[in-house]
Structure 1
Amino acid sequence: MALVSGPTEHTSEDALSALVALVEADLEACNRVIVAQMDSPVTLIPQLAAHIVAAGGKRLRPLLTLASARLCGYPDHDGGARHVDLAACVEFIHTATLLHDDVVDESQLRRGLASANAVFGNKASVLVGDFLFARAFQLMVDDGSLKVLAILSKAAATIAEGEVLQLVTQNDLSTSEARYLEVVQGKTAALFAAACQIGAVVADRPAHEEAALSEFGMKLGIAFQLVDDALDYVADQAVLGKTIGDDFREGKITLPVLVAFLAGDETEKTFWQRTIEALEQTDSDLDHAMRLIAEHGAIRVTLESAQRFVQEAKAALAVFPDSPIRRALAGVADYTVQRLR
């Protein structure tokens, strides 16, 4: 389903593989830190944490920290491992939010496997999520940089604000695209931005390079979430790794829905008001929603918006000299939209 025209330098897997290859040793070290920091004498904690880690995931956020640090010349000839520990910290923040989100959304699948809350229950998932947040802050304190602590703690607060804002806008078809993007920036893109920015901080790079990496991460994160929201209405469940139509069933306001709703006639608007606002849904409603989204080109509109953010992300990297790591980061930006091809 080719929804984006024009040549791309890498296939999606090539882009990720290229980035992983450049930071492979760092990523292996990061994984060792993650395993070590998940340990606890309370056996349920490592069991549940290992369950969500075993579900896979591409480690995209910690990869961004590792790659951003390398882009900025860290570590130098004297070595250094701050970027490795902070990449693990970023992954713990992300994993904690996944555990909490799956409870809030009552999700049954995570990356194609039973979600942690489906296996261990909601209470255990929330509490282990709290444990992982605490571990993340321990790693920040161990790093010793107040600047790093400020960036990552602000990101953690922003994620929570984004999730609450999503809850407030849920089932509300009067939500504007700007408000929707505010949710996306909070719940997803803020951590992408922080993950990239701290790569420049550990390398002690100037403010304009910090800002460039933060911009890259923010725009990349927005594009990533836009595509995720589109995938909920077009992807194969086995490929997506979660139940298709979850956003629809929960009445979440996403760009595909907003585009189809605004373009629809009165009958179609009534359908969306019944299914999204009132959450009165029948078994056939998801299929009808997907047809309306297709008819009004809402997936194409969403993907075109994501592509614009990808171009802005890649432009932010222009302050850095050309290098394999910069090209790999640009390739990963392209990967975000290629997931929908």
Structure 2
Amino acid sequence: LFVCLYYSQRNLAEITELIHTAFLVHRGIVNLKEWTVSDGPLKDMEFGNKMAVLSGDFLLANACTGLAQLNDTKVVELISSAIGDLVQGIYYESSYNAEDGLGEGVDVTSWEDQTFLSHGALLAKSCQAAMQLAKHDREAQRLAYLYGKHLSLGHKLNSDLQPFVESRLGEMTPISLSAAPVVFHRQIVGKERWHQQLQEARTLRNQLDYTKLLAAVKSEKGVSSAVDLCRYHSNRALEAIQAFPSSEARSALENIASAVTKF
């Protein structure tokens, strides 16, 4: 029995990774409307887009086959809903970016909701599904879900914070205007001041000087607020996993949750 549970949970982990990879491949599709002749042959990019779609669909098809082989309708329902959440999250993300190109439609609350859909739902529901496969009760499933939810949000915050906390100097790589520290900063300084800072960071070629923009964001409390939120989600993940009996597996999961607060 335990061997079967182990293999089914391992298969679930592989299915989750297949779904995650499929969406990464799909998100790699290039918007050809923005393509110029200097960027290279258009036919090559069209072929690349077709291959990305087909490859992503192939991975999703394999994931669905694996889900059916688990023989658990609730697990199929959970993972299917997670796929729907991914699609919805990516749609919201694209809609916000399309509206103004600056992510101004996103405040901290909507950022968390959107991030959970596009980055956290799959992990959270996979953790819950793993408990379902092991025939744990609803409370254990709820705690596993919370662990996956808060861990994924903490990890995304950690990732968004990296350009703002690293000490390396030199040429600054572009930072996302929808990154958590920027969202906090924009909410703190207000729309008018944010537009002013964007104008001050623009070069003569109407491009953003990310070094200036980074300095502007770091001058307020956007970074520290994002760090606090990251620690909050890490602590919530720890609370959820510590409700389970002590074991090597629990210790490993605690270490993962603690690691998201290390920058």
TM above 0.5, one fold? yes
Q: Percent identical across equivalent pairs?
A: 21
Report the TM-score when normalising by structure 2: 0.81
- Aligned counterpart, 1:18: none
SS in 1 for 2:242: helix
Tell me, yes or no, if structure 1 residue 261 matches structure 2 residue 190: no
> Contact between 1:190 and 1:218, CA under 8 Å: does it hold in 2?
yes
Tell me, yes or no, if structure 1 residue 304 matches structure 2 residue 218: no
Structure 1 residue 255 displacement after superposition:
2.1
- Aligned counterpart, 1:321: 245
Report the TM-score when normalising by structure 1: 0.64
For 1:31-70, what aligned pairs fall within 5 Å after superposition?
A: none
Moved over 6 A (4+): none
Separation in 2, partners of 1:145, 1:330: 28
Give the number of the structure with larger relative contact order, counting CA–CA contacts within 8 Å between residues 6 or more apart: 1
Against the structure 1 CA distance between its residues 281 and 321, is the aligned structure 2 distance closer, same or farther, given a 3 Å change threshold?
farther
Structure 1 residue 164 displacement after superposition:
0.7
| Higher Rg | 2
For 1:168-207, what aligned pairs fall within 5 Å after superposition?
A: 168-170=95-97, 171-207=102-138
Structure 1: gaps of 5 or more residues: 1-74, 107-116, 238-242
> Contact between 2:19 and 2:60, CA under 8 Å: does it hold in 1?
yes
For 1:21-170, what aligned pairs fall within 5 Å after superposition?
A: 76=2, 80-103=6-29, 121-170=48-97
- Aligned counterpart, 1:25: none
Separation in 2, partners of 1:284, 1:275: 9
Letter in 1 for 2:188: A
What is the root-mean-square deviation in Å for CA atoms of aligned residues?
3.0
Structure 1 residue 104 displacement after superposition:
5.7
Against the structure 1 CA distance between its residues 104 and 329, is the aligned structure 2 distance closer, same or farther, given a 3 Å change threshold?
farther
Cα deviations by residue, 1:148-180 (Å, 9 ceiling, x for unpaired): 100101001101101111112223424221111
Against the structure 1 CA distance between its residues 275 and 204, is the aligned structure 2 distance closer, same or farther, given a 3 Å change threshold?
farther
Against the structure 1 CA distance between its residues 265 and 173, is the aligned structure 2 distance closer, same or farther, given a 3 Å change threshold?
closer
- Aligned counterpart, 1:295: 219
Cα deviations by residue, 1:273-312 (Å, 9 ceiling, x for unpaired): 6599x9x974552111111121113222111101101101
Structure 1 residue 105 displacement after superposition:
8.1
> Contact between 1:261 and 1:272, CA under 8 Å: does it hold in 2?
no
> Contact between 1:274 and 1:281, CA under 8 Å: does it hold in 2?
no
Figure out how many residues of one structure are paired with residues of the other and give that number: 243
